[in-house]
Amino acid sequence: MLTENELQLNADVVVIGGGPAAAWAAWSAASQGVKVIIVDKGFLGTSGAAAASGNGIMAPSPENWEKVVSERYRVGKGLANLRWIERVVEKTWLSLPLLEDWGYRFPKENGESVRQSYYGPEYMRVMRKNLLRSGVQILDQSPALELLLAEDGSVAGARGVQRQHHRFYTVRAGAVVLANGGCAFLSKALGCNTNTGDGMLMAVEAGGELSSMEASNHYAISTAFNATVTRGVPFGWASYSDEAGNDLGGYINGRRDPSFLPNALMKGSVYARLDRATPEVKAVIEKSHFIAFLPYKKAGIDSYTERVPVTLILEGTVRGTGGVRIIDDSCATKVPGLYAAGDAASREFLAGLASGGGGPNAAWAISTGQWAGEGAAKFAKNLGARANERTARAAGQVGMRSHSSSSATFDSDAIARGVQAEIFPLEKNYLRSEQKLLDSLAKLETLWQQVQGNPKQDSVRDIEFSRRAVALTAVARWAYFSALHRTETRSEHIRIDYPQTDPHQRYYQATGGLDKLWVRRDWITDAPATPAVETIQATPVVSKL
């Protein structure tokens, strides 16, 4: 029944995703005069991490470019790419005035726009309105589940389901942009439950590669009584204590120690009180990070005088680094006609193995979205008018189709819980070791064998959740397999059996494979740059609205 009324569409470019990177990609492609269809798992404009709250943007004014670029390069610890950082900063700075042209209103200081942050709901409302004005066709509530491949191995479109119409859809296209986010493993981090690694799975099935997947273990602080809002800036002015009220410290030279909280939580409960904030600081953070205070207000808690329990929520690759490997300035992947942008793409050029969360990732979405959209449009144009007449096959297998003779179906929810049991615990994913990784990989392999069976397909939700379980399992395997093979500690990748950073391991790790995983070292041949400016921030940075 689901296939009998399948929706069949044609486009030059199909963009998969519904956040900033996808919106910028769709607009950029449409600006090249091609037909664009964008498919989103939710409602474009309200779903995803960006639409859920505000965020900073790494878009300094030109007189500050050198300082910001140098600091971002330093954070990358030898793996970031100076040229890519420079082009991201420049492209983002040049792009933000477009937002104002489309109707977004940045705050003003002395008559000048201050483009250092955005209010997510309004940002994405403006982006959606602009896409419709540009002639982009939007399919909401239409998660893409697999890519189509032409006989020569190039992409030929995408296929998915439409929840509200209870049917499959197919979009034939000359090029595809994957901009459907990273993977937060259904941790309930704010706005991230649509980020389940679908793009990474689709890319590998099509013959693409991933990179820096060992940087997939970013955790973010949240109140424990409402563990979803992961905005860490206010906690830069917190005092931390244990159950008995003993001060736990947590600061180095006035700056919050990133390793403090995970280590403290593995020993017991941790409480926070924002009593280090001055009146001036309070005024800024309550405005720029207002959503972080909503749990307090709903619970009737004074965050400045009362202690609250805090926890860490896994954001995985969303604020981590790993993703689809891009091979040139247009954000092309190894698969002809397939492009990646935003959190779906590896951010290794921007961040190394450190987090690009917040301003850097926001800039990455704006810039890579445009480069990928333009590249996809050019590729589609070069195929000519008959590109959508190519013979094509569906690339998805596991979770979409089964070769098993058994009538039993695997339990998608149980698979997801099994993945989370290996990927959520700090003692497994934050403090890694060879034995821990091997133990978890063995359990994840068992889950992978289970999803080879029959997926439940009685409804569009069944199909979507079966495929989601496969993506979660696949991403966890790639993350841990990559982590196993980087035998050092660097940035967010911590190996307790290799506690030092090895200067000889200056390479990116490509990874892929489905039944049989593999890794490859892509050596960085450029000599490390010497940043012109090195700064260490003594106090937390506050984004002003």
Give the burial class of 540: count Cβ atoms within 10 A of its Cβ; 0-12 exposed, 13-18 middle, 19 or more buried.
Answer: middle
Query: What is 7-215+317-394's CATH number?
Result: 3.50.50.60
- 267: part of which helix (H) or strand (E)? none
- Give kind and range of the element (H or E) at residue 23: helix 20-30
Bridge pairing between strands 7-10 and 167-172:
parallel
- CA 253 remoteness from chain centre: 31
Q: What is the pLDDT of residue 3?
A: 64
Positive or negative, the Cα torsion across 374, 96, 357, 222? Answer: negative
| Torsion from C-alpha of 29, 194, 205, 166, nearest 10 degrees | -90
pLDDT of residue 536: 34
Q: What is the DSSP letter of 215?
A: -
Residue 542 CB: number of other CB atoms within 10 A?
18
Please give the torsion angle defined by the CA atoms of residues 80, 58, 532 and 85, in that order, rounded to the nearest 10 degrees.
30
Residue 173 CA to residue 62 CA, distance in Å, equals 38
Q: In angstroms, rounded to a whole number, what is the distance separating the alpha carbons of residues 97 and 109? A: 16
Q: For residues 142 and 159, what is the distance between their CA atoms, to the nearest angstrom?
A: 9
In this prediction the pTM is 0.95
Cα 272 from chain centroid?
Answer: 28
pLDDT in tens, the chain (545 residues): 466 789 999 999 999 999 999 999 999 999 999 999 999 999 999 989 999 888 889 999 999 999 999 999 999 999 999 999 999 999 999 999 999 999 999 999 999 999 999 999 999 999 999 999 999 999 999 999 999 999 999 999 999 999 999 999 999 999 999 999 999 999 999 999 999 999 999 999 999 999 999 999 999 999 999 889 998 889 999 999 999 999 999 999 888 898 999 999 999 999 999 999 999 999 888 877 888 898 899 999 999 999 999 999 999 999 999 999 999 999 999 999 999 999 999 999 999 999 998 899 999 999 999 999 999 999 999 999 999 999 999 999 999 987 667 778 999 999 999 999 999 999 999 999 999 999 999 999 999 999 999 999 999 999 999 999 999 999 999 999 999 999 999 999 999 999 999 999 999 999 999 999 999 999 999 888 865 443 333 333 333 33
Question: Taking a C-beta distance cutoff of 8 angstroms, is the pair 371, 363 a contact?
Answer: no
State whether CATH 1.20.58.100 applies to domain 412-523.
yes
Cα–Cα dist 125/132, whole Å: 11
**Domains 7-215+317-394 and 218-315 in one fold:** no
Q: Which of 159, 231, 256, 490 is catalytic?
A: 256
Confidence at residue 532, expressed as pLDDT on a 0 to 100 scale? 45
Cβ–Cβ < 8 Å for 14, 372: no
The string of DSSP letters for 304-350 reads TTS-EEEEEEEEETTSS--EE---STT-B-SSTTEEE-GGGB--HHH
Q: What is the pLDDT of residue 531?
A: 52
Q: Where are the domains of the chain?
A: 7-215+317-394, 218-315, 412-523
CATH classification (class only), 218-315: alpha beta
CA–CA separation, 485 vs 450, rounded Å? 25
Residue 520 annotated as catalytic:
no
Q: Which helix (H) or strand (E) holds 15?
A: strand 13-16
Long-range Cβ pairs for the range 526-531 (8 Å, 24+): 526/81, 528/78, 529/73, 529/82, 531/70, 531/71, 531/73, 531/74
